[in-house]
Structure 1
Amino acid sequence: MSVLIAIPARYASTRYPGKPLVSLRGADGDKTLIQRSWEAAMAVAGVDRVVVATDDDRIRDHAQGFGAEVVMTSPACRNGTERCAEVAAQVSDHDIIVNLQGDAPLTPAWFVEDLVAGLRAHPEAAVATPVLRCDGAALNGFLEDRRAGRVGGTTAVFDARRHGLYFSKEVIPFTSRTYAEDEATPVFHHVGVYAYRPDALTAYGTWPTGPLEELEGLEQLRFLENGTPILCVEVEGRGRVFWELNNPADVPRIERVLQAGG
């Protein structure tokens, strides 16, 4: 099964305009968010092709400048999955398309490798996504964001078959307990990566935006609203810190990890 990683990147983000071109300082110097995301994709084993998918000339020129292959997509794309659907239509010779969102440079290679393996192991599944069990420190980070009125990471709940029941920017399930920093919690962080079979992407583009997707601003809910299960593949942190760049306040948080060589 051939695998393509597409990295959707748009300049006109509502919450953080120009986010793909934001500079992040790490142990290896300053690099943009999109370059660090591309480097994370290139580190994944068993991948046949990596492309940056954008509608913006500035992102295209910058990405080509550091050696990335770029696929131009329509400015009408409302989210990364729609952008990946356009990539799949243009580059149709891959069995699995991975959406590695351009705001997650801390994504370890094994998250994507385990995700692809999970989809391969479940031939009945059309879509899969990773989930990471929060320890107390990660859960406190989520709760701190919510108390401050920031839209932080996404949480997921799933059934006994590991089919996603719901994804939310609120912290679900509710728990009133206080957890030690290194203690396992019942809350799962949804890692913003997806693996699709081509038919699932084709179908996605034909469906209208549903009310839950509109309310949460979460593209994967369109699959659930149209009866397509999402396989949740649990991944292990292995001591690595994982966080997406959702808000300007996340920049120093991510830079601390990059400067530590994480």
Structure 2
Amino acid sequence: MKILGIIPARYDSTRFPGKPLIDLAGKSMVQRVYEQAKKASSLADVVVATDDERIYNAVKAFKGNVIMTSPNHRSGTDRCAEVCKKMIGFDAIINIQGDEPLIDPKQINLLANCFNDISTELATLVKKIESNKELFNQNTPKVIINKNSEAIYFSRQVIPFIKNVAAEEFLNTHVFYKHIGIYGYRTTTLGIVSKLKLGNLELSEQLEQLRWIENGYKIKVAITKNESLAIDVPEDVAKVLESLRK
């Protein structure tokens, strides 16, 4: 199994422009993500996929592998699909979030292991929800998993709803999972799902993975115990710097 790790990196983030190039204790965020990904033993290679020359030049400066892609992609999946056409010979692709500078290589390996099952088309990670704050946060997508470790549905709302139980007691009566936004695709599947049209479920929830489910694709799920720490807005930088100092 030959797996490529791709780090999509856009400069024009709505909430945090220039995010991949912010300085985190002497290294840019994109460099820190890249270096963490390179530690994953499951990956045959790692490449940054960007549409911005500033990011391209920054990656070249630390001698990283980088490729220019179209500025018209709507998602990281679409950007990965373009790279997949240019870098052939891989059996699967891992889409590594470019805003998680502390990503654990073990999480990448955990996701990659899903493709040891030849029936796996798509894969992602989830983590047990530990607090009501997470459970009721609409920015934290929840996921329901079937007995075959496949995602049934993702939602920004609490799913499943527990009837006849007070909301504050939900966690005491059921195990809820949140979605960790790292994806894996079998190469042949990536070429297909990247061409799927926007569906009603994705339009409603604003969650890309619902497009795949709505079109009948199965998403294999692996459960991680490690917490992810993403930088979505400038206020998140302090938390990452604090972790780097530990």
TM-score (norm 2): 0.89
Aligned: 1:140 with 2:133:
yes
Q: Which residue of 2 aligns with 1:77?
A: 73
Contact 1:7-1:100 at 8 Å conserved across structures: yes
Matched, 1:46 2:63: no
| Native 8 Å contact 1:142 1:152 kept in 2 | no
1:250 paired residue number? 236
Q: Which residue number corresponds to residue 168 of structure 1?
A: 155
Q: Deviations over 1:52-110 (max 9, x none)?
A: 00111111111111121111111111100111111111111101111001012222111
Kept after mapping to 2: 8 A contact 1:135/1:184: no
Judge conservation of contact 1:53–1:70 (CA < 8 Å) in 2. yes
Counterpart residue identity of residue 145, structure 2: F
Shift of 1:42: 0.9
1:63-212 aligned at under 5 Å gives the runs 63-120=59-116, 122-136=117-131, 139-141=132-134, 143=136, 146=137, 152-174=139-161, 176-177=167-168, 186-212=175-201
Equivalent pairs, count:
242
Counterpart check, 1:32 vs 2:28: yes
Q: Secondary structure at the match of 1:233?
A: strand
CA distance 1:218–1:164, shift in 2 (3 Å): same
**Which runs of no fewer than 5 residues in structure 2 stay unpaired?**
none
The answer for unaligned runs of 5 or more in structure 1 is: none
CA distance in 2, matches of 1:170, 1:22: 32
| 8 Å CA contact retained: 1:133, 1:184 | no
Give distance in 2, aligned partners of 1:12 and 1:142.
30
Shift of 1:43: 1.2
User: Contact (CA 8 Å) 1:134, 1:184: kept in 2 or not?
Assistant: no
Residue 174 (structure 1) shift: 4.8
- Residue 118 of structure 2 aligns to which amino acid in structure 1? P
Relative to structure 2, which stretch is displaced further, 1-10 or 65-74? 65-74
> Please, what is the CA RMSD of the aligned residues?
2.3
- CA offset at residue 185 of structure 1? 7.0
C-alpha distance after superposition, 1:107-145 (max 9, x if no partner): 21111111111221x211100001111223xx53564xx
Cα distance in structure 2, aligned partners of 1:174 and 1:17: 37
Amino acid at match of 1:13: S
Cα separation, partners in 2 of 1:46 and 1:130, compared to 1, 3 Å: same
**Residue 23 of structure 1: how far off its partner (Å):** 2.4
- State the one-letter code of the partner of 1:228: Y
Q: Percent identity?
A: 36
Stretch of structure 1 that moved more, 184-193 or 4-13:
184-193
Residue 5 of structure 1: how far off its partner (Å): 0.2
**1:11 Cα deviation after fit:** 1.1
Cα 1:171–1:21 change in 2 (3 A) is farther
Q: Is the 8 A contact 2:145 2:151 kept in 1?
A: yes
Runs of 4+ in 1 over 6 A off after TM superposition: none
Q: 1:258 Cα deviation (Å)?
A: 2.2
- Structure 1 residue aligned with 2:206: 217
